[in-house]
Amino acid sequence: MIKVLVIDDAYFLRFTLANFLNSDPLIKAFTAKDYEEAMQKLKLHPDVIILSIDMKRISCLDILHNIMGTQPVPVIITSSTNDLSSHEVLTAFEYGAFDFITKPKRNSKMMDLKEELIALVKTAASVEIKKLALEQRGKIGRFPRRSNKIVVLGASSGGPRAIEFILKSIPTGFPAFLLVVQHMPPGFTKTFAERLNKRCEIGVKEAEQGERTSQGKALVAPGGFALEIVAKDNGAKVRLKRERAELMPCIDTALKSIAQVFKENVIAVILTGMGQDGVRGAEEVKKYRGVVIAQDERTSVVFGMPKAVIERGYADHVLSLDRIPKKIMELI
């Protein structure tokens, strides 16, 4: 039985989420409406916590900091999609949150959240909590002055911290192209890129329509769009499309287009995440003799996407997260 604590100061939301979870025979959910009650309910030793970042009377980040400091368990942040919550969600990842899920803007759409929430709770319950903490190493070594390579980092659950870990290891003057495809909704990817830009030596920004790829700068695929890289005017440019797809941005979509443009110069890095996004893209990369790196099970928060790539035989290297930056430098 998976015990889940739902913390939200809005009665309708915490009641609805708890009911969703209790409909599954493997889950037992209970609730808390404020800081004091949340701290009391921690004594019941929940396996997973669902924590709203939109609470008005209490700070979600204070609660999260207390939980991770005293009784760490996987925490799923619930959030509406607005600029304020996107900044706070990314701080929550820094504090050790496992993943986040966006709440529908209208209560009538809440039922759409049910299956996704149950699946995410079951995944979170299987996570080793120590994998949510990362120790940043020093900068990686030498690299060539020029490179035609493009490095694509693809990730989902557990990805924001893994991506930051890799990009913070890359020094100024990195000669290759960089693209980040992290499963995030609209609004969050822009904030994510801005945060990375402040914390990394290389420049990081959210990709824009028609933008030319440039060496030594990382572009983050925007939420709500399918991103492709197309050849144009002796270079490569970003093409954004709105599609009816479950995942936008999609790692497969990006990698397929990139492989066709950059061919053997692609280095695809499939990081922690649920599902199988990245498998078809990795297949395309291998078709053009590019290189695929998969994060190993020991350091993946969720060993879904890397596992799928490995099992299909597309991974040239299976590495722990701390070894991936060095391998990237060797390959460029």
Write out the catalytic residue numbers: 156, 183, 277
**3-class state of residue 198 by DSSP:** helix
Cis omega before residue 160 (within 30°)?
Answer: no
Q: Within a 10 A sphere around the Cβ of 15, how many other Cβ atoms?
A: 13
Say which DSSP state 298 is in. Answer: T
* E-strand stretches of the chain: 2-7, 27-32, 48-52, 75-79, 99-102, 150-155, 177-182, 203-206, 217-220, 226-232, 235-241, 266-270, 291-295, 317-319
Distance between CA atoms of 220 and 263, rounded to whole angstroms?
A: 21
Q: Scan for tokens 């030594």, then name that residue.
A: 216
H/E stretch holding 10: none
Residue 107, CA distances (Å) to 19, 39, 104, 110, 132 in order: 14, 28, 7, 5, 32
Distance between CA atoms of 160 and 302, rounded to whole angstroms?
A: 13
Task: List, in order, residues 6 or more apart from 24 with CB less than 8 Å away.
Answer: 118
